[in-house]
Amino acid sequence: MKREVPLFITAVIGLFMILSFFVPHQWVSVPADFLQGSAVILVAFGYVLGGANALRVNFDGISRRSPGWQYKVVLVVALLTTVTVGAIEGREFLNPGMRSKWIYDWIYSPMASTMFALLAFFIASAAFRAFRIRTVEAGLLAVAALIVMLGRVPLGDLLTDWLFQLKWLPGAPHTLHLSTFQEWIMDIPQNAAKRAIIIGAALGVMATGLRVILGIERSYLSGED
């Protein structure tokens, strides 16, 4: 019962959602709308659950004095402060002048931006230390990467126009740029391969979706019961 009922619910709802794609009648569209609205609400509860779980895990770490527990205190205090301030301020908590908005603008936002900005440095380091061209295929990858990287920025054309525009050859057309090759790569070979990946992935999504609906794929149930 603990597994069979959820599997049955998934099957019925999944098939109903597929049906709603094809049938616009209100006997189908209204319940489908209700189910979608319910999913939205449940996902929101899921985010709250995630935050509560983060609190529980870190409380455990603090009580057991696990390594780095002092930083976990910072995490817990920050979490509880943000929740308390937001709860007190009500639904306008993100309006200008609110403390929650200030926390978002000057604590969350700079750090979120900077976390991702670190990647630029690691990309350069990885390009020097890890990007190894040992096969023809890797060479193709590298050449495409170099053309796209340089063709997408103004400096690429500026430095290579002398080569591609054949200015030293009388009568040659002055219409070729590195960016022209870059656009061709994006429009033709890259596009073709990406389309193949999209089609293949779509078949995979359809197969997985049907497996989940039919109860063959049950990993989301997790647990021993």
Partner 1 sequence: MPWISKLDTLDRRWLFLVMGLLVAGPLIFPAGLPLKVSPPVRSFHDTIEKVPNGSTVFMPCDYDPGARPEMVPMTKTAFRHLLSKDCKVVVTVLWNAGPGLVEATLNEVAREFPNKTYGVDWVNLGYKAGDDAVMVLMGQGIKNAFPRDYRGNPTSTIPLMNNVRDYSSFPLMVNISAGFPGTKEWVQQVQSRFHLPMVSGCTAVSAPEYYPYLQSGQLQGLLGGMAGAAEYELVRGEKGLATKGMDAQSLAHMFVAFCIVFGNIVQRLKRREAA
Partner 2 sequence: MSLHLSPDLSVWLGALLTLCIFSFLYKDNPLYRFAEHLFVGVSAGYYIILNFWTVIVPNLWEPFTKTVANAGGGAGVGSLFLPRLGDYRIFLAVPGILGLLLFTRLFGKIGWMSRFALAVIIGVYAGIRTTGAAQADFVAQVEGSLKPLWVAGDVGASVNAIIFTIGIITSLLFFFYSREHKGGLGVASKLGISFLMVSFGAGYGYTVMSRISLLIGRFQFLIEDWLGLR
For partner 2, the binding residues in 136-195 under the rule CB under 8 A are: 137-138, 140-149, 152-153, 184-195
Residue numbers 61-100 binding partner 1 by CB under 8 A: 91-92, 94-95
Q: Please state the closest distance from residue 69 (CB atom) to partner 1, in A.
A: 27
Residue 141, binding choice from partner 2, partner 1, none, Cβ under 5 to 8 Å by partner class: partner 2
The item of partner 2, partner 1, none sharing an interface with residue 95, based on CB under 5 to 8 Å by kind, is: partner 1
The number of C-alpha atoms within 13 Å of 109 and in the hemisphere containing its C-beta is 7
Helices and strands (H, E) in the chain, number of each type: 9, 0
Tally Cβ neighbours within 10 Å of residue 178.
23
Please give the full DSSP string across 193-219, using - where no structure is assigned: HHHHHHHHHHHHHHHHHHHHHTTS--G
- DSSP one-letter string for 59-128: HHHHHTT-TTHHHHHHHHHHHHHHHHHHHHHGGGTTSTT-HHHHHIIIIIHHHHHHHHHHHHHHHHHHHH
Nearest-approach distance from CB 135 to partner 2, in angstroms:
9
Q: Tell me whether residue 80 or residue 146 sits nearer to partner 1 (CB atom).
A: 146
Q: Does 66 bind partner 2 (CB under 8 A)?
A: no
CA separation for the pair 189, 170 (Å, rounded):
32
Distance between CA 192 and CA 216 in Å, rounded? 33
Task: Please give the residues from 130 up to 149 whose contact with partner 1 meets the rule CB under 8 A.
Answer: 131-133, 142, 145-146, 149
Residue 169 interacts with which of partner 1, partner 2, none, CB < 5 to 8 Å by class: none
Size of the site for partner 1 (CB under 8 A): 59
For residue 166, CA distances in Å to 78, 144, 171, 178, 225 come to 61, 22, 9, 12, 73
Q: Which amino acid is at 150?
A: L
Q: Answer with the entry of partner 1, partner 2, none that 155 interacts with (C-beta below 5 to 8 A by kind).
A: partner 1
Our finding on whether 203 is near partner 1 (CB under 8 A) is no
Compute the least distance from the CB of residue 71 to partner 1, in Å.
Answer: 22
Tokens of 3: 């597994």
Residue 156: what residue type? G
Binding partner 2 (rule: CB under 8 A), the pick from 103, 161, 165, 166 is: 103
Give the binding site for partner 1 (CB under 8 A).
21, 29, 33, 36-37, 39-40, 43-44, 46-47, 91-92, 94-95, 101, 104-105, 108-110, 112-113, 115-116, 120-121, 123-125, 127-129, 131-133, 142, 145-146, 149-150, 152-158, 177, 179, 183, 186-187, 190-191, 194-195, 197-198
